[in-house]
Amino acid sequence: MRKLYVGNKNYSSWSMRPWVLMKQAGIPFDEVMVRFDSFDRGSHFKNAIGALNPAARVPVLVDGELVVWDTLAIAEYLAETFPEKALWPRLANDRARARSVCAEMHSGFGGLRGHCVMNIEASLPEVGARLMRDEPTVKGDLDRIVQMWTGLLERHGGPMLFGHFTIADAYFAPIGSRIKTYGLPVPESVTDYIEHVQALPGVKAWIDDALVEEDFLAFEEPYRTAR
């Protein structure tokens, strides 16, 4: 059985992507959760994950003798291994567009990701309002997300970005969580899309696990202190 190594579900946005992709697509795997105790060299987390891959980051997919790290590499491997799952859109032009938006997510949106850290359990609308007022990169990234999602939903008719669930929806699921946590202002069509994604069994399962995790990590909490 293939194994997927992930971090804390409340905080680990990169782990969330391949986990919900595999769960929603019905690809069997065993989950191995490695708690975020610290990202310092010598920490249990770094030692455990570093023994699997030189980047010492999650997620990591172990399939027999093969070890694949990096979310996009895992997604591509799964798409090639399970072509019947149509993890990328079926049409070549749509596949190219889906890869483009995933690559944009992979390397961009630093303002939104840096200031609005994923925290599924939290509700921080007052922080979101302040960030929208004081951090232009957050507003700029959100504007681009709205433009991207709106265009794709209109082009393909929803309810997913490319009509049916694909890697792109898994890739942007953590952004939907951030938008909800920080109460960021988005059009109704974007809110509807987020609700559709979060209602998917694979995504809901991750969120449900995150909500009962109850593992407060101060270094992942720039806006709250331990209760």
pLDDT, one tens digit per residue, over 73-84 is 999 999 999 999
The C-alpha atoms of residue 96 and residue 60 are separated, in whole angstroms, by 25
pLDDT in tens, 146-179: 999 999 999 999 999 999 999 999 999 999 999 9
227, pLDDT greater than 70 = no
Q: Is the dihedral of CA 182, 23, 167, 60 positive or negative?
A: positive
Task: Find the mean pLDDT for residues 98-110.
Answer: 96
Q: What was the pLDDT predicted at 41?
A: 87
Tens digits of per-residue pLDDT, 165-224?
999 999 999 999 999 999 999 999 999 999 999 999 999 999 999 999 999 999 999 999
Domain ranges of the chain: 3-85+212-220, 92-210
Same fold, 3-85+212-220 and 92-210: no
Q: Which two tokens stand for residue 120?
A: 């599924």
Sheet holding 3-6, edge to edge: 30-33, 3-6, 60-63, 66-69
User: What's the burial of 110, exposed, middle or buried (CB within 10 Å: 0-12/13-18/19+)?
Assistant: exposed
What's the pLDDT band for 131 if we cut at 50, 70, 90?
very high
Distance between CA 148 and CA 98 in Å, rounded?
A: 11
Mean pLDDT of 30-45: 94
pLDDT beyond 90 at 1: no
User: What is the pLDDT at residue 106?
Assistant: 92
Quote the CA–CA distance of 156 and 134 in Å, as a whole number. Answer: 35
* Architecture of the domain delimited by 3-85+212-220: 3-Layer(aba) Sandwich (3.40)
Q: What is the CATH number of domain 92-210?
A: 1.20.1050.10
**Residues in a beta bridge with 164:** 162
The mean predicted confidence, pLDDT, of the chain is 97
CB 105 within 8 A of CB 175: yes
| 3-state secondary structure labels for all residues of the chain | CCEEEECCCCCCHHHHHHHHHHHHHCCCCEEEECCCCCCCCCCHHHHHHHCCCCCCCCCEEEECCEEEECHHHHHHHHHHHCHHHCCCCCCHHHHHHHHHHHHHHHHCCHHHHHHCCCCCCCCCHHHHHHHHHHCHHHHHHHHHHHHHHHHHHHHHCCCECEEECCHHHHHHHHHHHHHHHCCCCCCHHHHHHHHHHHHCHHHHHHHHHHHCCCCCCHHHCCCCCCC
Q: In this model, does residue 226 exceed pLDDT 90?
A: no
Give the model's confidence band at 43: pLDDT under 50 very low, under 70 low, under 90 confident, else very high.
very high
| For the chain, percent of residues with pLDDT exceeding 90 | 96
